Amino acid sequence: MSIAAADLTLDELKLALAPAIADAAVFDGWSDAALVSACEIEGVDADVARLAYPDGAMDMIAAWIASVDVAMFAALPPEALAAMKIRERIRSLVQARLDAIAGRVEALRRALAIMAMPQNAVRAGKLGWASADAMWRLAGDTSTDHNHYTKRAILGSIYAATLAVFVDDESEGKADTRAFLDRRIDGVMRFEKAKAQFLRPDAERFSVTRFLGRLRYPAR
């Protein structure tokens, strides 16, 4: 028995079995057949496992995403991130997630298709938000104002777009995905830098009032 199911709660079993279900989903989709196949490999009673995923495919996918969180935390503990600049922290965290799903591209493709279904849109949105939140928290973000929400919305969109590139990327070592991710993060960082400059109260920036005043009363 690979997973000591008798010693686990249903929540623990759900998380522990998820990677094996993802492996099976490459061939069987996110189905009961994938669950049964995973249970046979891991030595788990399928009837017990079904109790851990009462909503079927979406529960299995959500558990797989949670297992990716665990892999990300293990790959990049806080002490490993501490010496990095914020841009590199975010890039490394996204890359750690991609590394965790490597070899299961077809499972990811099928998961994204299921999450895109109208009936799953709300839950899929919450899962995407949770992934972005997990990355920002591990990166050390403690914001509580509107930046808390904008950071997660922006990172969520970057991650979703990167996954879309990842599933179709046939370049060696997923080089195209890495390049895409770098470009998207660079773009956001340039925007954030420009925004910070614009919002500085002491910044030298264009003033319509000052400009019109100078037209009326030119400096002598």
Q: What is the CATH number of the domain that holds 129?
A: 1.10.357
Cα distance between residue 75 and residue 116, in whole Å: 29
Across the chain, which distance is largest between two alpha carbons, in Å? 89
pLDDT of the residue at 55:
96
Range of the domain at 118: 58-220
Q: Which amino acid is at 143?
A: S
Q: What is the number of domains present in the chain?
A: 2
Domain identity same for 163 and 62: yes
Q: Are 43 and 1 in contact (CB under 8 A)?
A: yes
pLDDT of the residue at 1:
44
Residue 113 contacts by C-beta under 8 Å, 6 or more apart in sequence?
Answer: none
DSSP 102: T
Q: What is the mean pLDDT of the chain?
A: 88
> Which regions in the chain score pLDDT beneath 70?
1-6, 191-220
Domain identity same for 27 and 84: no
Q: Which amino acid is at 101?
A: I
pLDDT of the residue at 136:
94
Domain identity same for 98 and 35: no
CB atoms within 10 A of CB 2: 11
Helix (H, G, I), strand (E, B) or coil at 1: coil
Cα distance between residue 198 and residue 201, in whole Å: 8
pLDDT of the residue at 207:
53
